[in-house]
Chain A
Amino acid sequence: MILSCVTGQEHKRICGFLLGLIVDLLVPGGLDLSCVVKAACALLDLLFLAQFQCHTSDTLSRLEGSLAAFHQNKAVFVDLGIQEDFNIPKLHGLVHYALSIRLFGTTDNYNTEQSERLHINLAKNTYHATNRKDEYSQMTMWLERCKKIQQHNASIDWRQSHWQNIQTQTLIGPLHVHAQSIKIAQKPSSKAVPFTVIFWKYGMPLFQDALGNFIAGVNNPGLRTHALHLCGGNTLLPFRTVRIYHNIKFTAANDAQVSGIIDAVHVWLEQKDKRGRIIPVRFDTVLIWGSGQGESLLHPH
């Protein structure tokens, strides 16, 4: 298969599932296939490491290490007859990543999407600001005004910074995963769902037992499993219905306005949307810190 005109988005998606396609691959001839997976993982590692917005000497040496790992394992592509040689300019370019990052900083301002983004600012938004008649002169006028506002803003900021004499530089800090906050809708997706519905429709016979155990665990921290199950079995539940939510959303902490939703977990039974189309059942998988009993919510990231 030959790929042409692949957009950045499509590239990212391919990277996201490529591993799944090759991890259990079978090839004729009894060749050692682990090399294919290792070579692909090495390149994917490199690709993801190169996108970091902050580097340490450790992540940079990992970047160099993954390129070395690719070269160690790449011979399998020649053995399989897929590739005759590796004289590919893009492949050669990878050698320069670590050095470029050391010299000029991270790669997060280098991409090919900038011109696409500017098309939105300079053409699309500008066109929408017009009344669609004689748009060219309106657009140039609008852009000129935008620029003037921008310059005036900058001038005000500059003057104010002189008054306050405050250093406004923000420090990036060490490499870590952004702290996230959890957002849940204010209104539940279903207001009062009885336990019997959860039992039958959701197919969760253990729901009430699990709820009893959870309550017992929270009220008696330190109970061992067996005692917990006994205690949980005796826990009275003073309610028969719960409010159910379909989404958990994650925003980058501190600046929810700026960054928006960065991750989401969807949980629902098969349902119909407003137009009557069926939305298939969905229960996402998640990474959980600890045992989920709230022992310490300060996880390393």
Chain B
Amino acid sequence: MDKVSPYFIHTEIWIQTNPFSGYRIAQVRVVFESPNQAISEVFRSLDMPPKYLAYVEWFTPIPATPDPKHGIYRVSRLTENGHRSASIIQVESIVRSVHLIPQFGPVMPWEWNSFTVLELCNTFYINPFSNVQSYLTFV
């Protein structure tokens, strides 16, 4: 991702497409690097084997259209056979941090707080307004 070429899309297409098309949301659980000798042994076929990797737990794909009630996109934890669906990815494919707002519901459960809510809540809204840079990704 050293040099990312600017991307031009015709304005009309820009408006019609989902701003999130091609993106997924995940929670990073561990960022790691394999031992150097092992990397070249494992990825024999590659000249530039991936260096930094991350174990992430996926959220559901971002819907094509936002919630019609208020126009905000919603995602949930993705599970597979009772486990959270997880993969290892290259750190380079991480675009930016994203702010998720828990779906509080009518009454917020008492055990939720800033440190536990990501674990305890299942459904989240994507907050485009966390800062101007992230807003630019979302328009």
A-side residues, CB < 8 A to B, are 12, 15-20, 23-24, 26, 34, 37-38, 41, 44, 48-49, 51-52, 56, 58-59, 62, 173-182, 184, 188, 193, 198, 202, 204-207, 210-211, 213-215, 218-219, 235, 237-239, 241-248, 250, 253, 262-265, 267, 280-294, 297-301
The answer to whether A19 touches B127, judged by C-beta atoms less than 8 angstroms apart, is yes
The answer to whether A286 touches B94, judged by C-beta atoms less than 8 angstroms apart, is yes
The answer to whether B52 touches A184, judged by C-beta atoms less than 8 angstroms apart, is yes
**Chain A residues with CB below 8 A from B69, complex form:** 34, 37
How many angstroms between the C-alpha atoms of A44 and B139 in the bound complex?
Answer: 12
The answer to whether A284 touches B11, judged by C-beta atoms less than 8 angstroms apart, is no
Q: Distance (Å) between the CB of A58 and the closest chain B CB? A: 5
| Of A23, A176, A239, A282, most B-chain CB atoms within 10 Å | A23
The answer to whether A292 touches B41, judged by C-beta atoms less than 8 angstroms apart, is no
The answer to whether A215 touches B43, judged by C-beta atoms less than 8 angstroms apart, is yes
The answer to whether A38 touches B7, judged by C-beta atoms less than 8 angstroms apart, is no
Q: Distance (Å) between the CB of B99 and the closest chain A CB? A: 7
Report if A204-B43 is in contact (Cβ < 8 Å); known contacts: A24-B106, A239-B38, A264-B97: no
The answer to whether B31 touches A176, judged by C-beta atoms less than 8 angstroms apart, is no
The answer to whether B129 touches A204, judged by C-beta atoms less than 8 angstroms apart, is no
B1-44 CB mask vs A (1 if < 8 Å, else 0) is: 11111111101001100000011111111111111001001111
Closest to A236 in B: B42
Report if A285-B14 is in contact (Cβ < 8 Å); known contacts: A182-B1, A219-B43, A263-B133: no
Could you list 15 further interchain pairs (A-B, Cβ under 8 angstroms) beyond the known A290-B93, A297-B90, A300-B7? Answer: A16-B127, A24-B103, A59-B139, A177-B136, A180-B95, A182-B1, A182-B94, A204-B55, A218-B43, A237-B42, A238-B38, A238-B41, A242-B33, A243-B34, A288-B26
Closest to A247 in B: B31
**Chain B residues with CB below 8 A from A178, complex form:** 133
User: Which residue from A179, A215, A218, A289 sits with its C-beta under 8 Å from B23?
Assistant: A289
Q: 4 closest Cβ contacts across the A-B interface?
A: A292-B89, A20-B101, A37-B70, A214-B88
SS class of chain B's interface: helix, strand, loop or mixed? mixed
The answer to whether A23 touches B101, judged by C-beta atoms less than 8 angstroms apart, is yes
How many angstroms between the C-alpha atoms of A288 and B97 in the bound complex?
Answer: 9
The answer to whether A219 touches B45, judged by C-beta atoms less than 8 angstroms apart, is yes
At the interface, yes or no: B110 with Cβ under 8 Å from chain A?
Answer: no
**Chain B residues with CB below 8 A from A219, complex form:** 42-46
**Chain B residues with CB below 8 A from A26, complex form:** 106
Q: Distance (Å) between the CB of B31 and the closest chain A CB? A: 4
The answer to whether A283 touches B27, judged by C-beta atoms less than 8 angstroms apart, is yes
How many angstroms between the C-alpha atoms of A48 and B137 in the bound complex?
Answer: 12
**Chain A residues with CB below 8 A from B15, complex form:** 58
Q: Distance (Å) between the CB of B129 and the closest chain A CB? A: 5
The answer to whether A182 touches B91, judged by C-beta atoms less than 8 angstroms apart, is yes
**Chain B residues with CB below 8 A from A239, complex form:** 34-35, 38
